[in-house]
Amino acid sequence: MKNKKGKFITFEGPEASGKSSQIVLLKEFLKKNKIPYLITREPGGTKLSESLRKTILHYNTNLSNLEEVLLLMTARSNHLNNIIIPNIKKGKIVISDRFTDSTLVYQGYVNNFGINRCKYLHKILLNNYTPDLTFVFHLQVKKIIERLKKRKIKNKYDKIDYDFHNKVIIGYKKISTLKRYIHLDASLSKTFIHKKIIKSLNL
């Protein structure tokens, strides 16, 4: 199995929806089949972007919506130019845990900055760079909260708040209408979801 052209694949969805577990399974598949790949995340992926991640996601950081969005755009610009684009040009499959869609949902919709305002900034600042394929994980709020209660809280968005998570779910439904989005029922078995991801990638 050979990958002739690099691709940019993103994983999106609410907290505790199983993205990380599926990324690990996909990594194992790519490694086994000797397909060149790179796993990264947002915000993060570079030294600068990881530093900004700590600021953006920390509980006690007092940021306005605009400041948070601009920090995310800065981190994303650094990530794109230094990690994502160079590795795609090398022919690798670049897999990112979250990307612009998360900003549209969390900052644009949930935090009321505005989805269209986020899209506009992404267009003028990042040349509207878009993934080739995006897997969107869907999970009911009840399941999200059940899973969050079982794990260590990592950032300010890992909270037990029904209304917050429900709004995240609605936000993803609003933005994920284009052909590049592959919708996944995160309540199904890990094996079933993994097989659907592999089939969708068409490697």
96: Cα separation from own chain's centroid: 6
pTM over 0.75: yes
Confidence of residue 4 (pLDDT cuts 50, 70, 90): low
11 domain-assigned: yes
CATH number of the domain that residue 32 is part of: 3.40.50.300
Q: What is the model's pLDDT at position 39?
A: 98
Q: What is the model's pLDDT at position 51?
A: 96
CA dist 165 and 15 (Å) reads 8
2 domain-assigned: no
**Range of 185's domain?**
7-201
61 domain-assigned: yes
33 domain-assigned: yes
Q: What is the model's pLDDT at position 3?
A: 46
Looking at per-residue pLDDT, the higher value among 151 and 186 belongs to 186
174 domain-assigned: yes
Q: What is the model's pLDDT at position 152?
A: 77
CB count in 10 Å sphere of residue 9 = 22
16 domain-assigned: yes
Please state which of the ranges 146-150, 164-168, 188-192 shows the lowest mean pLDDT.
146-150
Hey, what's the torsion of the CAs at 36, 39, 44, 50, to 10 degrees?
Answer: -90
167 domain-assigned: yes
Long-range contacts of 173-177 (CB under 8 A, 24+ apart): 174/109, 174/115, 175/101, 175/104, 175/105, 175/109, 175/115, 176/12, 176/101, 176/134, 176/136
Amino acid type, 182: I
Confidence of residue 139 (pLDDT cuts 50, 70, 90): very high
**Residue among 55, 89, 90 at smallest CA distance from 75:** 55
Q: Tell me: pLDDT of 136 over 70.
A: yes
DSSP 43: S
Q: Each residue of 44-95: pLDDT tens digit?
A: 999 999 999 999 998 777 899 999 999 999 999 999 999 999 999 999 999 9
CA dist 82 and 80 (Å) reads 6
1 domain-assigned: no
Q: What is the model's pLDDT at position 2?
A: 44
